[in-house]
Amino acid sequence: MIVKTDCKFFRGDVPCKPHKQYGYHCVDCPEYKNSDGKILIIKLGAIGDVIRTTPLLRKLRAEFPNYQFFWLTYTPEILSSEWVNRILHPTIENLELLKNIEFNWLINLDKDALAVSLANSINAKRKSGFTIDEFGHAKPISNKAEHHKWLTGLFDDVSKENTKNYMQEIFEICDYEFSGEEYVLELPEVQTNFDINKNKKVIGLNTGCGGRWTSRLWPTEYWIELAKNLLKENYEVILLGGEQENEKNKFIQKESGAKYFGYFNLQTFMNLVNNCDIVVTAVTMAMHIAIGLKKKLILFNNIFNKNEFYLYGRGKILEPDFECDCYYSPTCENSCMQYLKPERVLETIRKFS
């Protein structure tokens, strides 16, 4: 029996996609595509970080259509198997596998210990991004763009002066120019039955920001005021969040009359966001999901450089009227988000809708 191990669909231990779908064998498979090479992307990160890296796939796939793509991440569930051949969680087994493959190109966009160690130990003809120095720290591999991204992570003053968005930075690390390539985000097919009036403009209020960066939290009383005013103006208002926001969202629902359906797994949450016309959120996973689903977005920001964010012409960044002194800090003694008033958010929603 002929087995074509050079095919981009070949798995080695389980049936390939053409065989599972159509029953083809290698000898006469019309789907056979010779793999010209292999590219490994290391972006471990949180879900939002992984989502905002996916525009790079559009550029890479266009230039290397017959390559096999590998991606190492802690959140493999967010990536599309239509775009990435091997989506790998960093288990011991997968790390050993990667160390025994020679790649044509390794792209490491993380600077944590595991990522830079792997960038150093995995065999690849070309490497981009970050590797490890003799002291066990992250260092740029070769080019000016890597050095720029490295320095903005080390010094707040350099970070504040940065005028490039994240996609520009990672594209330049790979010697590309970012041209507005969209996120790669597929909406999962799940059964949902949300009681949402689609005859009205649907506003999703994502009230949380994770446990690490509480400096980004907007006051609960502001969410209540905004929701009440939106309902008065005949918008459909739904509250978004995870388990951490559950009790807060129940309270906001009770006080404002907005709809809250609970917290869900990632697939159901994405479908809930997809019901929204406009999403109001801080810098969170929900922000990146909204961008990926091409929703209008009102983004709250106080502790990051706003130039980092690219909203594809579908969003507006709102910040306090003064520079917050808690730059990249997990807490904010001045609670500067209190100076971003609900009236300003409401006016922005009116303009968007």
pLDDT in tens, 265-292: 999 999 999 999 999 999 899 999 999 9
Please give the share of the chain, as a percent, with pLDDT higher than 70. Answer: 99
pLDDT 10s digits, 124-154: 999 999 999 999 999 999 889 999 999 999 9
pLDDT 10s digits, 235-257: 999 999 999 999 999 999 999 99
Work out the widest C-alpha separation in the chain, in whole angstroms: 71
pLDDT of residue 270: 96
pLDDT of residue 332: 73
CB 210 within 8 A of CB 241: no
Residue 213 pLDDT more than 70? no
pLDDT 10s digits, 14-62: 898 889 999 999 888 998 888 889 999 999 988 999 999 999 999 999 9
| Torsion, CA 225, CA 226, CA 230, CA 233, rounded to 10 | 60
Q: Tell if the pTM clears 0.85, that is, is over it.
A: yes
Which class for 11: exposed (0-12), middle (13-18), buried (19 or more C-beta within 10 A)?
middle
Domains of the chain: 35-173 (3.40.50), 202-352 (3.40.50.2000)
Residue 202 pLDDT more than 90? yes
Exposure string of 75-105, with b = 16+ CB inside 10 Å and e = fewer, is: bbebbeeebbbbbbebeeeebeebeeeebeb
CB atoms inside a 10 Å sphere around CB 348:
16
Which class for 197: exposed (0-12), middle (13-18), buried (19 or more C-beta within 10 A)?
exposed
Which class for 234: exposed (0-12), middle (13-18), buried (19 or more C-beta within 10 A)?
exposed
Distance between CA 138 and CA 130 in Å, rounded? 6
Distance between CA 145 and CA 110 in Å, rounded? 14
